[in-house]
Structure 1
């Protein structure tokens, strides 16, 4: 009878410790914003496949040595765009701002190049400054100069990425933004993909409550407290992970390189201001973030966080096993036991992420293991007294 009572007490303590430990782990992860497990656990992304269809034309250090610091003459961009268009790319996304008229004669060279495109160019824009955009200027939008080319698309680049609590960019906002006139704008990489896939983007498709769709691709989306919908960015790497071409070298290149590709034009130089903190680097160029977003979508490398209830259950089950291991472990191997448990859990979580795109928080396991191990050791010592 005493043996039965002893094991019932042990079972009750195991359950209470594991339950409490799981709660404390998730509470700590929620209340400590400096701990961003998603950010830290994505420091070493797995190199993705199928990057050949993405080309980054980067304004790098060599380009700046040749042309100087930005801004360049619009005719310089016109020359590069003209060469790329010769190759017949499916989409061109330009992450450079052409706000306002600078030199009307020089600007017209860019306008004529844009007019010669076949509806596959997307230009970056700040939605709240749409009235300053080059193509919206009274002198430029007249039929004499621009012919009202509606095939030129605009994609928003401000406020379309969401930062983690640590400050790094980990999400893409998929909810459209609106300018003062009520016109809606989707993120630059999304608009570029509509050109590349020749398909519309639907952020709220019927029958897909938690998904957006584009070209037959279903994108898992999530909603924050402001009801904005977003997707997680699955980074595959920095500029070196993609086909990178120096901006200055494009006019001398064989345009066939760009055939059927999605071409992204932006800054990649060290001294550029368009650098952001991401899980892969503290200075990731904005155009590289766009490339990673596009790569995530066209290769369907989506990240889907495990539901909170399932994550809690996962922690609870592991903590039951942890309590039992600590209870029967000797004092000398208590710390190694904790390390082994955490290593196994971390490897399991990383395996789930790299193979299935399922993201599970790791930080709750650390806190819960500490709490449960303490309970197990105290209970073991009290029983030995």
Structure 2
């Protein structure tokens, strides 16, 4: 019986090694490479989007049990009343937290303006009694004696300021796409007065780190026993035409997850005695606004991430107080990140292009389009 030899399959026309096909591959590669350089030059948010994607691919990290948030939330506004509250209310809540002997308390309110004198004094006494309270400060424009505008620090009232264990700046500088990915660990005013970031100052107080126990190196800040990776200094345009600002001491925040990743206690529950002070023992406690009506929130890389908790699905902006919690956790647990050198960005992009170009030789039809789209 005569054997029948199978005819070898005819390769797809794109797979035939003809000069024309190799020319097509070369053109695809060159066009893709050119696109990478053009887009990376004019759209800085391209790498920012990659950071968002990497955070979401990594997923959520376990929440630390030694950093908790006492939230001025919607429930507190309903039970206690319209905000801002009398400072005696904050003082009473602070006294309840103090009973638990926390390592440090950060209250995310400046208290720069006078209110009722007795209330101001009561809050100062509660802060003094605790001995480990940190408040934020903020830069603002002020006209000096000669009428010139200068940038100076907005400080708490003198009696409250004198009772504090420390102050830290609470400035946030989102990227061009509106997402907050990093914080400046220190800022100075026009007079050279320098403050650490609010979260870093809280950690300093919690860890009993001396104010002068730090060392600044290229891309590294040693702060007590913590070695913090810093980003390369960047120049950005200021609001004044022709003037550039240097952004230094910049740290990428390693967010553990979406909004409400940390343990929350409602301020009203603490104030009314429904939360045992033991919950704050040996912990860092952050007190701040979380109600959307109070407007203190930031977009983060996890903004549209659907986490394991149904409350966080759909994406919520993160309250500033939880951003500070993420800053503290990043430094405390040595989770600081840094960008790969720019060379690696291009190398990875080239690898993707080469992979797609080679793969498309063995695919046809819609599969080619799919690979190129990826």
TM-score (norm 2): 0.76
Unaligned runs of 5+ in 2: 1-16, 142-151, 236-245, 304-315
* Cα displacement (A) at 1:314: 1.9
Please point out which of 195, 198, 201 is paired with 1:185: 195
| Richer in helix (by share) | 1
Which segment is superposed worse, 85-94 or 15-24?
15-24
Q: Given the alignment of the two structures, is residue 41 of structure 1 paired with residue 53 of structure 2, yes or no?
A: yes
SS across alignment from 2:299: strand
CA separation in 2, counterparts of 1:9 and 1:315?
25
TM-aligned CA distance change 1:18 to 1:202, over 3 Å: farther
The residue aligned with 2:268 is 248
Correspondences of 1:1-385 after superposition (within 5 Å) = 18=29, 21-32=32-43, 35=46, 36-38=48-50, 40-41=52-53, 44=56, 46-118=59-131, 120-128=132-140, 133-136=155-158, 140=159, 148-149=162-163, 151-158=164-171, 161-178=172-189, 182-200=192-210, 205=215, 208-222=217-231, 223-225=233-235, 226-251=246-271, 252=273, 253-281=275-303, 283-338=317-372, 342=374
SS across alignment from 1:293: helix
CA separation in 2, counterparts of 1:338 and 1:236?
33
Cα deviation digits, residues 97-152 of structure 1 (max 9, x gap): 2112111112111111111123x21001223377764433xxx37xxxx8x44x53
SS across alignment from 1:168: coil
* Cα displacement (A) at 1:333: 2.7
SS across alignment from 1:302: coil
CA separation in 2, counterparts of 1:154 and 1:244?
23
The residue aligned with 1:365 is none
TM-score (norm 1): 0.74
Q: Paired residues, what number? A: 321
* Cα displacement (A) at 1:202: 7.9
Cα deviation digits, residues 338-376 of structure 1 (max 9, x gap): 36xx3xxxxxxxxxxxxxxxxxxxxxxxxxxxxxxxxxx
CA separation in 2, counterparts of 1:219 and 1:203?
14
Q: Is the 8 A contact 1:95 1:287 kept in 2?
A: yes
